[in-house]
Amino acid sequence: MAIFKGAGVAIVTPMHDNGDVNYEQFAKLIEFQIANGTDAIIVCGTTGEASTLTHEEHLEVIKYCVKVTAGRVPVIAGTGSNCTSTAVYLSKEAEAAGADGLLVVSPYYNKATQNGLYAHFKTIADSVKLPILLYNIPGRTGCNILPETIVKLCREVENIVGVKDAVGNISQTARLAALADGSVDIYSGEDGQIVPIMSLGGLGVISVLSNIAPAQTHEMCQKFLDGDVKGSCKMQLEALNLIDALFCEVNPIPVKKALNLMGMNAGTLRMPLSEMEPANVEKLEKAMKVYGIL
Residues with a known catalytic role = 135, 164
Residue 113 near residue 143 (C-beta atoms within 8 A): no
Q: How many CA atoms lie within 13 A of 153 on its CB side?
A: 34
Q: Look at phi and psi of residue 73 and say left if phi exceeds 0, alpha if psi is from -120 to 50, else beta.
A: beta
